[in-house]
Amino acid sequence: MKPASALTGELAAASYRIDLSRPRVMGILNTTPDSFSDGGNCYQSDQLALDLALHRAEAMLAGGASIIDVGGESTRPGAKPVGEQQELDRVVPVVEAIVQKLSAPVSVDTSSPAVIRHSAAVGAAMINDVRALRKPGALQAAAATGLPVCLMHMRGEPGNMQDAPCYDDVVSEVDDFFTERLQACADVGIARDKLLLDPGFGFGKSLAHNLTLLRELEHFHHFGCPLLVGMSRKSMLGQLLGREISERLPGSLALALESAARGAHIIRVHDVQETCDVLAVHQALQMENNNS
């Protein structure tokens, strides 16, 4: 396998600089009671527990994560939206605590303009939006923060996105979506070097769509934006392997390795240390190949 990306620079995320000359790992920290894999892990007696969230973030950083992605709204298939205040209560205190106590870059997994603004105010370094800033006011809120933003492709909403998704050409249609969203960002003054792209594996896609997008991931390098991917423990692995969520680590590592080989810059995962180990071996082999 050969690395596919031509980008060798760094991502300026608030006061942080994240080197993208090799694949980086984003650790998933869900502050929800109902996320598909780790919902409730940050809760105690049905209440969000900051100490549990901090402990999880600290462990991921120790395992090699370059950035922690905090999310307060489950976007699993069939998930219902949460209220704005509830999402703020779940996300902002955790972001603030990680920034203050761990001095680590935090990405906020949100579509809400209010959560974007308040998270930025307490030190968030990046916005990761599954709706690609399509909620009213989200473009303006993101632009005002000056933070980098990941634009993800999703057809439909979490509640209905997996109801028989259909494309004539999934790569072409995701490409068209990115073109439109990049222009929308440019129109409000968000510079291209502040944007990342995520094809949205599992978000309004069948297994065949997901595999096609992974196989053709290099196609999206023509935008000149870093690529972020997230396939950790997802249902595509259940379909491929017949494994329950708790048994999907080997499959998740295989997908992370394939993503890296096709030029993914940031890989969003639950199992940070294991993924970092796989990528370290991959990187060592690439360096050996380049030196030979």
80 is catalytic: no
27 DSSP β-pair partners: 68, 269
Q: Put the strands of the sheet holding 67-71 in their side by side order.
A: 195-198, 149-152, 126-129, 106-109, 67-71, 24-30, 266-269, 228-229
Q: Assign 169 to helix, strand or coil.
A: coil
268 as an active site residue: the answer is yes
Q: Which residue has the tokens 């209905």?
A: 160
**What's the burial of 291, exposed, middle or buried (CB within 10 Å: 0-12/13-18/19+)?**
exposed
CB under 8 Å to 1, separation ≥6 — which residues?
Answer: 257, 261, 282
**Which of 234, 243, 248, 262 does the annotation list as catalytic?**
234
Selecting among 76, 155, 181, 268, the annotated active-site residue is 268
Q: How far apart are CA 24 and CA 148, in angstroms?
A: 16
Question: Which amino acid does the sequence have at 69?
Answer: D
User: Residue 62 phi/psi, 5° resolution?
Assistant: -65, -30
Strand runs (DSSP E) across the chain, as ranges? Answer: 10-13, 16-19, 24-30, 43-44, 47-48, 67-71, 106-109, 126-129, 149-152, 195-198, 228-229, 266-269
Residues classed as catalytic: 234, 268
